[in-house]
Structure formats: structure tokens, C-alpha cells
């Protein structure tokens, strides 16, 4: 079975094949505007996760229990889809204009990459993608995740594309502190904001694995490279002091019934970026609604 029509959606609700899951993150992000933060580094439900594991090796992420946004198990003959979501957040003060959210399925990380070394750091890919196994549509993101120092470095990254070809991209690392995405689109590290994903080479529609990383100018600190599948984007606006603002997204109405498929073990979470007044996000909470059939 699968969800292929509006009747399938109606039948899923009529036959009890649906679930809405609450989430809440209660710790504040940093105050830097125009920087992408990973919500995993704050407490709540789902729980805190520091994105660590075997050094310079791909560590697959397969969610269980409260690791990520929880959803019920389904029959093997069914497909699960995200039909809608609600995202609420609270500003820590006045003058915050927007908060952007990227919903991801985190496939795995390459943790503890040494930002104090200019040596070639080769990655161990003995373990492979647990979902989206061809790499199609998968992006990479580099995050400053342990002992950051706010400075600029340069980087060369080699990866294997979904077409099984080797690609090389060069850029800058512009750190804004712990838990932030920091690939800078300007080669001198002057662009704002840093990108939530590393630009892919020409003709590439997805990343299967990271081959190696080498810093030209070492930015210091330790870094984690994520491989993830972007599933949705939402934006909350406008803000006033300590206000609650909510975005509701219905994929049937707003995305022409293109419902993101949620695979078993999907590690769902948010990257988010605030703008205006250098005001941290103090709380993120909301719901995710799933159907299957």
C-alpha cells in the first residue's frame, strides 16, 4: 500500500493510520543573527545530542525512542508520510524579525574533524547511508560542534556524488560559535549568512559520502560534517518582545499534495536561523502529523 491520492489520505484518517507528535526545545540558541543553528544541541524532546562518534568516520543515524522526532512503527507493506507540521517559537527579546526553519532527516555525521590541523583528513566510509542510499538529494553541512574559536579558515572538501563520481569543492569556514553551520559562500569568509549546506559541484544532485577534508588555513576547534536530506522549509514572522509566533504547513494545500515520505529510522529535526535584534530563540515547540497506508 501507499499514499497516492486524496482518497488514500482520507482512508488513512478514517482507519486510524495517523499520528501527531509533540516536540519542544527549551534552551536558548546563540544571539548571532543570520546563522544556522542545529536544535539538537539544546534540551527537550527530542533529547540533546552532541553529534559525536567514531572520529573521521561516517556514523549513521537511525532514530529510536527519543533520539529524534518520534513516530509509531507501521506495517512493512505501508508507506509513512508527513502530512503537516506546526512550528512555534519564542523570541528572547524585542526586534526579532524572522526565524527560518529547515526540516531534515539526518542520515549520519563525520564527527571530531580537527580544525587545528592542515593535514589531509581522510574519512572512513565503512558504514554507509542508512536511508536515501544512492545519495540523490542528500546535502552536506559542516558544523562547529566542540571547543569553537571564532575565526576564519579555508577548506577543500572531496566527496563522492550520487553518480559515483569524485567531486572537489573549496570554500571558507566562518565560525560563529558552537552548534552553528559555518561553510562560508565567500572564499575569504566574508559572506553572510554561512550556508546550511555545502555547495555541490557541477552536475551533482546529491552526496553519497565524504572522502576527505583539508584546511588550508586552520580555523581551530572541532567540526562535524552532516549528511542530511532536506524535507521542508518554513518561516515564522513577524515578532514583538517575547511573542509566540506559529507557522502551520499543510503539505496537501501548500505543496500540491507532495507529502514527504518518512522512512523507518528517520532522524527528524530542525536547523533554524533568526534575524533581527541579535535576539536568541528561547523556545521551539510544535507538532508533526504523520499518516501511512
Residue that the C-alpha cell 559542516 belongs to: 142
* Contact between 251 and 290 (Cβ < 8 Å): no
Global pTM? Answer: 0.93
Model pLDDT, residue 243: 57
From first to last of its 293 residues, what are the pLDDT tens digits of the chain?
578 788 999 999 999 999 999 999 987 778 888 889 999 988 899 999 989 999 999 999 999 888 899 999 999 999 999 999 999 887 776 667 788 899 999 999 999 999 999 999 999 999 999 999 999 999 999 998 877 666 788 999 999 999 999 999 998 888 777 788 888 877 666 656 788 999 887 788 999 999 999 999 998 889 999 999 999 998 887 555 555 667 888 988 887 888 999 999 999 999 998 887 787 888 888 999 999 99
Query: What is d(CA 168, CA 187) in angstroms, rounded to the nearest whole number?
Result: 14
Model pLDDT, residue 98: 81
* Contact between 46 and 69 (Cβ < 8 Å): yes
Query: What is d(CA 250, CA 190) in angstroms, rounded to the nearest whole number?
Result: 37
Q: In 122-137, which positions are buried (b, 16+ CB within 10 angstroms) versus exposed (e)? A: ebeeeeebbbbeebee
* Chain length of the chain: 293
- β 166-174/139-146 pair status: unpaired
Model pLDDT, residue 242: 54
34 φ/ψ angles, rounded to the nearest 5 degrees: 60, 30
- Give the ranges where the chain is alpha helix by DSSP (H): 6-14, 251-254
Domain regions of the chain by residue span: 6-292
* Contact between 28 and 282 (Cβ < 8 Å): yes
Amino acid at each position: 500500500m501507499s499514499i497516492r491520492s486524496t482518497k488514500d489520505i482520507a482512508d488513512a484518517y478514517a482507519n486510524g493510520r495517523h499520528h501527531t507528535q509533540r516536540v519542544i526545545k527549551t534552551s536558548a540558541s546563540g544571539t548571532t543573527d543570520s546563522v544556522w543553528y542545529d536544535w539538537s544541541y539544546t534540551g527537550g524532546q527530542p533529547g540533546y545530542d552532541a553529534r559525536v562518534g567514531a572520529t573521521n568516520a561516517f556514523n549513521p543515524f537511525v532514530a529510536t525512542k527519543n533520539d529524534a522526532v518520534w513516530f509509531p512503527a507501521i506495517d512493512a507493506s505501508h508507506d509513512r508520510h508527513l502530512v503537516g507540521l506546526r512550528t512555534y517559537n519564542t523570541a528572547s527579546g524585542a526586534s526579532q524579525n524572522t526565524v527560518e526553519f529547515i526540516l531534515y532527516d539526518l542520515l549520519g555525521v563525520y564527527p571530531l574533524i580537527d580544525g587545528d590541523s592542515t593535514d589531509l583528513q581522510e574519512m572512513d566510509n565503512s558504514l554507509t547511508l542508512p536511508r536515501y542510499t544512492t545519495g540523490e538529494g542528500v546535502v552536506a553541512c559542516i558544523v562547529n560542534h566542540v571547543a569553537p574559536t571564532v575565526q576564519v579558515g579555508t577548506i577543500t572538501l572531496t566527496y563522492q556524488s550520487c553518480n559515483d563520481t569524485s567531486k572537489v569543492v573549496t570554500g571558507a569556514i566562518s565560525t560563529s560559535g558552537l552548534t552553528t553551520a559555518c561553510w562560508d559562500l565567500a572564499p575569504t569568509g566574508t559572506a553572510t549568512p554561512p550556508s546550511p549546506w555545502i555547495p555541490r559541484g557541477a552536475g551533482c544532485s546529491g552526496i553519497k559520502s565524504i572522502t576527505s577534508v583539508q584546511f588550508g588555513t586552520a580555523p581551530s576547534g572541532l567540526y562535524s560534517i552532516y549528511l542530511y536530506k532536506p524535507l521542508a522549509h518554513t518561516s515564522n514572522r513577524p515578532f514583538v518582545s517575547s511573542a509566540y509566533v506559529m507557522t502551520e504547513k499543510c503539505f496537501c494545500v501548500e505543496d500540491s499534495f507532495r507529502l514527504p515520505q518518512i522512512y523507518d529510522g528517520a532522524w527528524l529535526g530542525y536547523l533554524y536561523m533568526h534575524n533581527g535584534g541579535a535576539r536568541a530563540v528561547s523556545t521551539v515547540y510544535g507538532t508533526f502529523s504523520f499518516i501511512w497506508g
